[in-house]
Structure 1
Amino acid sequence: MPLWQYLMTDVDPDQTAAPLAAYCFMTGYIDVVSFSAIFVWCGFQTGNFAQLAIAIARLFEGAPGFRDQTFHKADQQALCSLISFNLGAFVGRIGDRVGPKKRIWLVSGTFIQVLFTMAAAIAFWKASQPSISNARDEPAWTNTLTFVGLAFMSASLGVQGILGKRLNTQFGTTIVLTTVWVELMTDPSLFRLRQRVMSRDHRVIAAVSLFLGAFVGRAILFQLSTAATLGVGVGFRMLITLAWIFVPSTKPANK
């Protein structure tokens, strides 16, 4: 089969466990980098959205003239991450035109994540700021270039989320695992330990992969800088890009 024709085939969603587990790994990996520095999640936008609500509520606290009307740095960073994540997810609409299960789109969409992660690494390299903060009121990232890096990190997970969502597997979006946890706990086959149950096993793999990603990310971050840690992440994501080439195609329906 010619290469282009092969790239235009649909992947079999039931055979995508490996790259989607790697997506979950990258969620933990990327999130731990941002949380370690500024206590903001690049992928878990529920917390960032709630933080912005708190920032608005703060405007009405206390007596008039004595209210805190400052848009705190942490709130600015949460807003930056939220907007960038959604812009990244919007980029994923390209896949709706190409075909969300087309191999060419899964390869291209993951490569976009590579480019975004690379851009983030360069921004943090140029920013020359610390990688880890031990106090919420003392963020490690404060200058403009770190906002650029945060934006690219968040956008990369936005693209990843829409790719994972469109495949409609047990891995969900590969970003937020709250739903995965709920579905795992309510799975009718949860305690059939001697049987292979895809609905249960893939959710467990998703959770473990995210945990491992956060563990590995923090371990590397402790030894290296933010830029270097993201540089390693570029390599991981490049491997995931190539992995989509080897996922089996959907079998043609019998006529």
Structure 2
Amino acid sequence: MANGEQSLPSSSDTLSPSSSKAVPFHRRFVNHLTTEIDAPGSTNLISIYACFLTGFTSSPSFSACFVWCGFQTGNVAQLGLALARAFAPVGERTYGFQKPDQQALTSLLTFWMGTAFGRVGDRLTAKKRTWLVLATFMQVLLAMAAALTAHFSGESGLASSRGEPSWRTPLGMAALGFLSATMGIQGIVGKRIGSPMNTTVVLTTTWVEIFNDPLLFSMRYTPSRDIRIAGGLSVLVGAFVSRAILDSIGSAGCLGVLCGFRMVQVVWWWFIPDKAIKKAEKV
């Protein structure tokens, strides 16, 4: 070797475990946080869990005022019916939105605001861990706000009939709005990562895909069918668990449990494999 020359480290030396340990913890933390996850390849389980949260979140709002905070098709149709009542025959005609119509409008508008938050994800990169953690933590805060407003509204959170819904007060309406906003954020996250359950919020399209799957009656494991079926069943289980908790500790307590479930999802994003690592494994 010539005088004054130094050998360059080989690629194996550069990527050795000892050299990676030399990187400061905070640097490794930031690097991991700013990587893109392997989506949709490694997001099947967390998407199924998101469907569970859809059922869990929708149960308190429907129990309180018969409004699905995530299923906005019905709310839009309900508002159309409310407008049509202004043109009904004399004696049946009503003007202005009744309380159920106001609640449907509140849910729709706040859902829009929640899903519009997805524009932040488009700027940060929708599959980057930073955005996924941020978006899910925002859902934790919104669920916490829903729990507090439901508690201080002083309402039971259980409607006696469609004509007498709960969450009629401004604080109760705010609880409905916060829950609908969480569903809006969840919807855009599911859509951007390419979940097999689409938005993980409304599963109508998912059911269409299940029953038109050419391998619907196959006796072996079929991801295109089985993952979607698991998502649909998770909504059922989530709603069941939520209602059981609601009957035991009330709507505010149930929404407090929802905060905990959302935090599980925040942590879960940390352990989804990186896109780069999955590519390297395939080589």
TM-score (norm 1): 0.96
Query: Match for residue 94 of structure 2?
Result: 68
Query: Match for residue 5 of structure 1?
Result: 31
- The answer on 1:212 being equivalent to 2:237 is yes
The Cα shift of 1:67 comes to 2.0
Mapped partners of 2:102, 2:219: distance in 1:
46
| Cα-to-partner distance string for 1:84-107 (whole Å, 9 max, x where unaligned) | 001000001111011111111111
1:56 to 76, 83, 89: 83
Query: Match for residue 198 of structure 1?
Result: 223
Tell which has more relative contact order, 1 or 2 (C-alpha 8 A, sep 6+). Answer: 1
The Cα shift of 1:138 comes to 1.1
Query: Match for residue 196 of structure 2?
Result: 170
The verdict on how the C-alpha distance between 1:135 and 1:66 changes in structure 2, with shifts beyond 3 A counting, is closer
The verdict on how the C-alpha distance between 1:66 and 1:26 changes in structure 2, with shifts beyond 3 A counting, is closer
Mapped partners of 1:178, 1:235: distance in 2:
27
Query: What amino acid sits opposite 1:51 in the alignment?
Result: Q
Mapped partners of 1:229, 1:49: distance in 2:
27
The Cα shift of 1:11 comes to 1.0
Query: Match for residue 179 of structure 1?
Result: 205
The Cα shift of 1:70 comes to 3.4
The Cα shift of 1:66 comes to 6.1
2:149 to 123, 128, 151: 123
Query: Match for residue 228 of structure 1?
Result: 253
- Compare CA radii of gyration and give the structure with the larger one: 2
Query: What amino acid sits opposite 1:102 in the alignment?
Result: K
2:132 to 94, 106, 110: 106
- The answer on 1:43 being equivalent to 2:70 is yes
Query: Match for residue 147 of structure 1?
Result: 173
Query: What amino acid sits opposite 1:20 in the alignment?
Result: S
| Cα-to-partner distance string for 1:8-47 (whole Å, 9 max, x where unaligned) | 1111121112221111111101111110110000000000
Query: Match for residue 94 of structure 1?
Result: 120
Moved over 4 A (4+): none
Q: Which deviates further from its counterpart, 44-53 or 134-143?
A: 134-143
Query: What amino acid sits opposite 1:21 in the alignment?
Result: I
Listed as ranges, the gaps of 5+ residues in structure 2 are 1-19, 21-27
Mapped partners of 1:204, 1:36: distance in 2:
25
RMSD value, Cα: 1.4
TM-score (norm 2): 0.86
The Cα shift of 1:7 comes to 1.2
Aligned length: 253
Mapped partners of 2:155, 2:45: distance in 1:
35
The Cα shift of 1:166 comes to 0.4
